[in-house]
Structure 1
Amino acid sequence: MLTRLTVAFAFSCLSCHLFAQAQQIIIETSQSALVLTVGGNQRVLQSYLGRKLAPAAYAALTGGREVYLTAGMDNQFEPAIRLVHNDGNPSLELKYVSHKTTREHDLTQTDIVLKDPVYPVEVTLHYTAYQNSGVIKSWADILHREKKPVMLTQYASALLHFNSEEYWLTQFHGDWAREVNMVEEKLTNGIKTLESKLGTRTNFYQTQAFFLSLNGKSSETAGELIAGTLAWTGNFQYTFEVDQRNGLRVRSGINAYASEYYLAPGETFTTPAFIFTWTDQGKGQASRNLHTWARNFGVLDGKGPRLTLLNNWEATHTSFNETRLTELFDEGKKLGIDLFLLDDGWFGNAFPRNDDKAGLGDWQEDKKKLPSGLGYLVKEAEKKSIKFGIWLEPEMVNPKSELYQKHPEWILKLPNREENYGRNQLVLDLVNPQVQDFVFAVVDDMMTKNPGIAFIKWDCNRSMTNAYSPYLKEKQSHLYIAYTQGLYKVMERIRAKYPHLPIMLCAGGGGRTDYGAMKYFTEFWPSDNTDGLERIFIQWGYSYFFPSNTISAHVTSMGKLQSLKFRTDVAMMGKMGYDIRVNNFTPQELQFSQEAVKTYKRISETVWFGNLYRLISPYEESRAVLMYVSENKSKAILFNYQLHTRRKDLFGRVQLQGLDPQKKYRFREINLFPDTKSINPDNNKVLTGEYLMNIGLNLAPGRIAPLSSNIFELTEE
C-alpha cells in the first residue's frame, strides 16, 4: 500500500522535460505497460496497454480514451463514476491536477489526482505495478468537500479500453457442487455483464474472475489477453461494452445494485482493487503471473507451509462424542497427518447443534457431546502428536438459538415481512459494531481459552435475502458495502492478534473465492463436491487464478466408482487433506495412504510454489495433464488423469513445458499402489529437457483404464 512506499522517484531534468512535452504517465511491469496521457483538455486518457516497450516508443503515443469516464457530461457510454451533487446536478468532470510515483522493492505505485473544476470533488486513481509478476492493481479514492453528502451511484475500481478486431471472453459460472464451469464466447456489440447481487456467498453462481482474449481466442501457450479479478468479498460487477466502432470498455468494481452511497463531506470512498495481468503468451502465462503475485502479496502466508488435515465430517457428520473423536485422532496419527479438524455440530446447549436447524450463534461446547470441552480435545490430539482445528460459522444465526432470542436487532431481516431462510439460518448484521465485537469475540474467546487450537475453518452457508439492517435505519442502500467492510474490520482485528493462525475460507463450498478475503485466509474450500472426476474440472478452473497451496482438496469416499488412488492423485494437485474414515481402509489402502501422505509432504514444495503448466485440458480431451516445475527447473511433478475414456480412444504424446532444455531429468512414476509397478515405457529413464518438451512422453501406453491416474516426478540428474 501507499504507506509502505517510501522511496520516491528522482525525476531527472531530462525526464521532467519529456513529461512536460508528452504529458504521459507510464505504469510498467517487467512484461507490460499501461500508458496514460494528459489530453489538451486536461482529461487523463488511456493511450496504450500491452507489451513493455522502449521509452522512445511511448513518446509517439497520443490520444486515447478517458481512463475514468464520468456521467452527466459528454460521455455516452457506461461511466466509471456517477455522482449527484447537493444541488441535484448529476454531472462530473475530472481534470488532471498532479501525479506522483513511488517505488519500494518489487512495487511501483502511481497516484493520479483528478478534480472537478466546478464542484469540490476529487478522485485519486491508484495503480500498483508488481514488476516481477507482471500484475497491476488499480483502485480509486473518491472525496468531496461539499456542504452536504453527495450520492454515488457508480464507483468503478477500473475502466480499461481496447481496440481489437474481436474479443473473446472466458467466464466461470456454476452452482453448489458444480463450481467454476468454464465458458468462452465472442463478444458482440452491446453490453455483457458478469455480476453478483448475493451480498454474502457472492461467488455462488458466478466466479469473479475472467479472461479477455484480443484478436481471436487464446490458448494456454499463445494469444494476447488480460486475466482479471476483483479483491472484494461482496457484490461485484464487470461490464464489457462493445461500441459502434468495435471499441471495448471493461468496467470492474462493486455492483452498484441497490447500493447508492451517500458520501459525507470529507469522507473518502475507497473502491476495492481490480487485479489484472496482460500477456501475449496465453492463459498459462497469465495464471503463472497471478500465482506469483498471490504467493507474494495476495494470500496470507502465501509462501509459508500448509497443514495436511483429517476432517471428521464424512465420518460422523454432527453425531459424535469425545470417545468417537479421540478414536479419529488415532486414525489421523495412523495416517500421518498434521492436524485433526472438528467440523460442524460441536456447539449449542439450549439448542444443540444436532443438524442444521439449530444452534448457530451459540458458540459454547455442547456439554452432552463434549463434557470435557475443547481444551480436552486439544490436549488429546497433542498426545497423538497432531494439532487440533475447529469449524466456525460466526456470521450466521439459527432462529433456534439463544443468540436469536437475546438479540433480534443483530439480524438482517425485513421488519414487516416473513423471515426467509437459507439452510435454516439468517445472516448477522456485520454493519453493527456490536455484532463485529461479537464475531471477533467468538474467535478470541475460543483461542484465549484454548491457545492450542491451530486451525479454523470459517464457513458462510447462505447469501442475503430479505436483507435489512436495523443498525443502518434510513441508509439501507449502504448495506451490501458496509457488510463487507464490517467483515474486513473483524478480520483485521483477528489478524492483529493471531497473525499466522491458518484459517480456511469456506462458503457452502466455493461461494467465496476472492483476493479481498485471501489476504486474511491461508486457503479456501473450492466445493463440497469431492468426487475425484468432478474435482478435476473444479480444481482446473480455480487453477487459472489461484495457486495450488490455496485450493484445498480432500480425499473422501465420494465417487465410489473411483479408486482410492485416483481420488488421492486428484487431491495431490492442490492442498491435500482427508475427510474419510481411515479405519474402513483395507490393509493395502492404509499402506498406500500412509505412503501418499509422506510422498505429498516430500513433493509439496514443488506443487505449492512451482510454476503451473496445464498441458492437456479435460475440456478438450478425455484426460487432463498438468505439471508443476520448481523455480530453478531442477524438479517437476507431472499429473496424468484418464477420464471417461472409450475403448478405442487414442491419445498422442504429451510435450512437457517449463523445463530447462539443457538439463537431464530422471523420469519416475510415484504414488503407486502397493504391489503394482509402473507400465510407462519411459519410467526411470534419464531424458533431456529438450527431448521432454519437443518429443514428449507417451502417458497412455497399452489399454487405458477409465478413471485412472499417474503421478510422475522429474528430478535433475
Structure 2
Amino acid sequence: MTNEQLNQAEFELQTKNSSWQFKQDPYQILQHVWYGPKTGMDMSYLQEWHDTGFSGQISDAGNDRTYSLDTRMQEIPVEGTGDYRINSLAIRQADGSIASDLRFKSADHQAKQPLKGLPHSFSESENLNITLMDETSQLEVVLHYSTFEECDVIARSMTITNKGDQPVFIETADSASLDFGLQDLEMIHFYGRHNMEREYQCVPVTNGITEISSKRTSSSHQHNPAVIFKNPTTTETSGNCWGIMLMYSGSFAIRTEKDQHNQIRVSAGINPDTFEWKLEPGQSFQTPEAIFSFSNQGLSRLSKNFHQFIRDHVMRSPLAKKNKPVLLNNWEATYFTFTKEKLLEIAKSAAEMGIDLFVLDDGWFGKRDSDMEGLGDWDVNKEKIGDLGELIDGIKKLGMQFGLWIEPEMVSEDSDLYRNHPDWVIQMPNRSPIRNRYQLVLDFSNPEVVDYIYEKISAILRAHDISYVKWDMNRSLSDLYTKTLPADRQKEMAHRYVLGVYDLANRLTEEFPEILFEACSGGGGRFDAGMLYYMPQIWTSDDTDAKERTKIQFGTSFFYPVSSMGAHVSAVPNHQTGRITSLQTRATAAMAGTFGYELDPTSFDQEEKDLIKEQIAHFHDIQNTILNGEYDRLSHPYKDSYSAWQFNDGKRVIVHGIRYEKRPNSLRQPIELRNLNEDQMYKETKSGMVFSGKALMNGGILLPGELGDNYPFEFIFEALPEKNNQN
C-alpha cells in the first residue's frame, strides 16, 4: 500500500513488513530517507549533515556548507550536480554538457501499466508516480513505484521524456538506486562461468566502488543481475537483509560504493559501458524494472519473498504453476548423430519407463550435422528424420508429448540464411567477425530479422503438435554494430537487440500459450526474471553433475523459485566432470527442479530401467510439493560436507540432500528442519516415527550413516490430523 503524501512532501511505501520513505527537501530535491522494517515514524531524524571539505553546494543553498548532494541520501542521484559518487542518471545535453538538475514537480497514483517492449511485474495495485523536471533542458523523469504487500516487494522503474527542443543523449539510466546511509554491510553475489553458474560469494562492502556486471548482451554465466546486502550477523533465519534483482536479460551493471563517510549506495540498471540512447524532442525512454525486497528474518525469508513474487507477479505463462511433464532430451544420447529410427528407439524405451515428454534437441533442421553448419535454416531435415509430423505421431502413439529445440538468435556461415542475408548478422564494417562456437549472431535490433525468424518458427509450431520448446542461445555477443543505425546511435544497438529478443519471445508465447517454453543460454547464461516473464522455466546449467548441481541450484535459489529450474538426470561418467554417481544421487539433485532425463535409455539394463520408472512415479507423487511449496536451504554446500534442502506445502514436508563425503569412524550429522508448525506432529513415512515440529526444528533428524561418497537421502514427513497431535 502507499501512504498518503503529507503536503506533497513526504512519501512512504509500505509492504507487510517493510517501509520505504523519501521526501522532497527545501530545494525540491528528492531525498531518500529509509528502507527497512516498519517503524511507525519518519526516520529522517537519523540524517545528520555537516560541512565536508571539497563537497560543493547547489546554487540554491547559497553558503550553507552543510548542504551538499555529495554527502546526502537521494532517491535519484544525477550526474553533474556536485555528487561525485556513482549516479543513476547521466544526460549529455545538446551543447555537450553532462548535467540534469531534477526537482520535484508532482506525484500521483495510477493503475500499474505495462512497460512497453519490456518484461514487467503485474499487479492490480496502483503505482506511485513521482514526476521530476530539469527546467533548463525540459527533461522530465518519472519514477514509478509498485508495492506487492504480501511478498514484501517494491518494484521501481524510470521513464525519461525529452520535452525540450534539442536532442539529448542518455549515457546512464539505471532502473533504481538505494542509499543505505552509514552501515556495515556484506554483499552476496553470484559469479561463475559456463558449467559453473551462480556460485555463492559473500564479501564485505569496503570503501570504493564494486561492480557486478555483464557486457555480453545477456545477463551471462559470469554474473547474475541480483545481489543481496546483509548485516554481518545475518543468517538464514535471523537478521536484516536486502535483495535487489533486475528484470532484464541484457548487459547490466549493479554498482556499489562505500563513500568518504562510509555511507553505502547501490545503483542497478543497463550497463552504461555498452549503452547510450539518443532522445529526440518528444521521445521517451523506459528503463527495465528493479525489484527490491527486505527481510528482518534472515536470508530464507528474503528468498521466499522473491520466490512468491516471481511465481505470482512475473511468470505470466498459464503453465507456470501447473505440474510439469517429466521429459527426456536426446542430446547427450545422440548429439548430432541420429535418425528417425534411432529417435523412436530411444522414445520407446523412454515411454516404457514412464517419461511424459520426448524432446528432440539440436540437429533436426537444415544441414546440421555439427555445430559449424546449418544454424538459421529452420526447415526440417527430411533426409535425417523424414516427415516431422510422422515422427511426432510416432512419439504420441507411445503415450508421450513432443518437444523441440531451437536457437533463433544465431546463424552459421555455412547456411542458406547467411548466404542469402549476410547483412543480417552482427559484424563491424571492414572487419572479420568474432566467432564463438563457430557461429554468428543475427541482428535482432533489426525488426526485419525478428519478423523473419518469427515467421519461420511460428510456421513449424502451427503445423505440428508440439507441447514444449527449448529456446537456446549459445554465445555471447561481441563486435556490436548494426547497419540500421547511424554512427552516433550505435550504442543503442545492445539494448535494441534485447528488445528484439523480448519481441520474439512475446509474440511466440502469446500465440502459443499452451506450449511450455524453456529458456536456455548454454545452460544458465540468461537466467533472470526478464526471461521468466515469458518462459516459466530456464535450463539451470549445462553441468548436470549431481554434486556440482547442488551448488549451482543453491546459488540460484536465493532469488529464483525451484519451479523455474530445469534439472535433469544425465549419463555417467558425467560429460562435464567425469564423475560417477549413482542413479539415485543424480535423481535427488534433479528433483530440486523441473526434473527430467538427458541420456540414452536403450543403454540401460532392466534393473536401471525399473529404478527410473520408480523415480518418475515418485516425482509425480511429490512434484506439487516441490514446485509449489515453500523452499528452504538446510545447509551451506560451500562449507558443509553435505547439501540439504526442504520443501513444505503445509501438509507434507520433504527433505532431500546429498552427503558429499563419508569420513571414517564418524558420528551421524543431525540436520534441523525449518519453518514447521512447532505444535504439529509429523510422521516420517519410511520409518513410521512421529516427531513434533519443535523436535524437528530444534533437534533435527540424523542423516544416513551408510558408507560411500555423494550419498543421497530423502525424508518425507506427513502432518498428522489434529486428533493425533500431542503437546
- Using structure 1 for the length normalisation, give the TM-score: 0.92
1:461 offset after TM fit, Å? 0.3
Determine whether 1:550 maps to 2:564: yes
Q: 2:209 aligns to what SS in structure 1? A: strand
The 5 Å alignment of 1:212-231 reads 212-214=229-231, 216-231=232-247
Amino acid at match of 2:280: A
State the match for 2:87 in structure 1. Answer: 79
State the match for 2:626 in structure 1. Answer: 607
The correspondence for 2:468, drawn from 427, 441, 455, is 455
Q: 2:175 aligns to what SS in structure 1? A: strand
Q: 1:516 aligns to what SS in structure 2? A: helix
Amino acid at match of 1:692: L
State the match for 2:52 in structure 1. Answer: none
State the match for 1:198 in structure 2. Answer: 216
The 5 Å alignment of 1:175-324 reads 175-200=193-218, 202-214=219-231, 216-301=232-317, 302-324=320-342
State the match for 1:707 in structure 2. Answer: 710
Deviations 1:522-580 (A, max 9, x none): 21011111011111111111111111111011001143521101101111111101111
1:61 offset after TM fit, Å? 7.5
State the match for 2:580 in structure 1. Answer: 561
**How many angstroms apart in 2 are the aligned matches of 1:440 and 1:598?**
37
**How many angstroms apart in 1 are the aligned matches of 2:353 and 2:172?**
53
State the match for 2:66 in structure 1. Answer: none
1:74 offset after TM fit, Å? 2.2
CA contact 2:645–2:657 (8 Å) conserved in 1: yes
1:662 offset after TM fit, Å? 1.7
Determine whether 1:690 maps to 2:689: no
1:705 offset after TM fit, Å? 2.4
1:59 offset after TM fit, Å? 8.7
Amino acid at match of 2:174: A
Deviations 1:228-268 (A, max 9, x none): 21111100001100001110010000001132211121111
CA contact 2:509–2:517 (8 Å) conserved in 1: no
1:329 offset after TM fit, Å? 1.8
Q: 2:533 aligns to what SS in structure 1? A: coil
State the match for 1:519 in structure 2. Answer: 533
**How many angstroms apart in 1 are the aligned matches of 2:667 and 2:128?**
53
1:704 offset after TM fit, Å? 4.2
Determine whether 1:45 maps to 2:31: yes
The correspondence for 1:101, drawn from 94, 97, 109, is 109
State the match for 2:641 in structure 1. Answer: 622
Deviations 1:418-449 (A, max 9, x none): 12210010000001111010121132111121
Q: 2:106 aligns to what SS in structure 1? A: strand
**How many angstroms apart in 2 are the aligned matches of 1:102 and 1:661?**
43
Cα distance change of structure 1 residues 413 and 648 upon mapping to structure 2, 3 Å threshold: farther
Cα distance change of structure 1 residues 259 and 102 upon mapping to structure 2, 3 Å threshold: closer
Deviations 1:466-491 (A, max 9, x none): 22112224221111111011111112
State the match for 2:77 in structure 1. Answer: 69
Deviations 1:152-182 (A, max 9, x none): 1111101101134412111111111111111
Q: 2:455 aligns to what SS in structure 1? A: helix
The correspondence for 1:35, drawn from 16, 21, 26, is 21
CA contact 2:323–2:627 (8 Å) conserved in 1: no
Amino acid at match of 1:693: M
The correspondence for 1:117, drawn from 113, 120, 135, is 135
CA contact 2:358–2:400 (8 Å) conserved in 1: yes
**How many angstroms apart in 1 are the aligned matches of 2:703 and 2:124?**
40
CA contact 1:394–1:442 (8 Å) conserved in 2: no
State the match for 2:120 in structure 1. Answer: none
Q: 1:368 aligns to what SS in structure 2? A: helix
**How many angstroms apart in 2 are the aligned matches of 1:409 and 1:585?**
48
Deviates more, 1:100-109 or 1:181-190: 100-109
Q: 1:180 aligns to what SS in structure 2? A: strand
Amino acid at match of 1:382: K
Deviates more, 1:546-555 or 1:633-642: 633-642
1:57 offset after TM fit, Å? 5.0
CA contact 2:198–2:221 (8 Å) conserved in 1: no
Show structure 1 runs of 5+ residues with no match: 1-7, 670-682
Deviations 1:201-245 (A, max 9, x none): x3121122211113x143211221111211111000011000011
1:588 offset after TM fit, Å? 2.1
Q: 1:257 aligns to what SS in structure 2? A: helix
Q: 2:151 aligns to what SS in structure 1? A: coil
Determine whether 1:595 maps to 2:614: yes
Matched-pair identity in %: 30
**How many angstroms apart in 1 are the aligned matches of 2:126 and 2:688?**
46
Amino acid at match of 2:621: R
CA contact 2:589–2:657 (8 Å) conserved in 1: no
Q: 1:517 aligns to what SS in structure 2? A: helix
Amino acid at match of 1:246: N
1:89 offset after TM fit, Å? 3.0
1:82 offset after TM fit, Å? 0.8
Amino acid at match of 1:471: T
Deviations 1:397-418 (A, max 9, x none): 0000000000011110112111
Q: 1:666 aligns to what SS in structure 2? A: strand
Deviates more, 1:455-464 or 1:325-334: 325-334
**How many angstroms apart in 2 are the aligned matches of 1:303 and 1:703?**
37
1:334 offset after TM fit, Å? 0.9
Cα distance change of structure 1 residues 526 and 290 upon mapping to structure 2, 3 Å threshold: same
CA contact 2:181–2:265 (8 Å) conserved in 1: no
CA contact 1:642–1:704 (8 Å) conserved in 2: no
State the match for 2:681 in structure 1. Answer: 664
CA contact 2:200–2:555 (8 Å) conserved in 1: yes
State the match for 1:137 in structure 2. Answer: 155
1:656 offset after TM fit, Å? 0.8
The 5 Å alignment of 1:624-643 reads 624-630=643-649, 633-643=650-660
The 5 Å alignment of 1:640-659 reads 640-659=657-676
**How many angstroms apart in 1 are the aligned matches of 2:673 and 2:285?**
48
1:102 offset after TM fit, Å? 4.7
Determine whether 1:386 maps to 2:394: no
RMSD (Å), alpha carbons: 1.8
Aligned length in residues: 679
1:58 offset after TM fit, Å? 5.7
Deviations 1:128-169 (A, max 9, x none): 111111111111000112223201111110110113441211
Deviates more, 1:642-651 or 1:436-445: 642-651
Deviations 1:505-533 (A, max 9, x none): 10011110111111101210111110111
**How many angstroms apart in 1 are the aligned matches of 2:516 and 2:88?**
37
Determine whether 1:354 maps to 2:369: yes
Q: 1:540 aligns to what SS in structure 2? A: helix
1:654 offset after TM fit, Å? 1.4
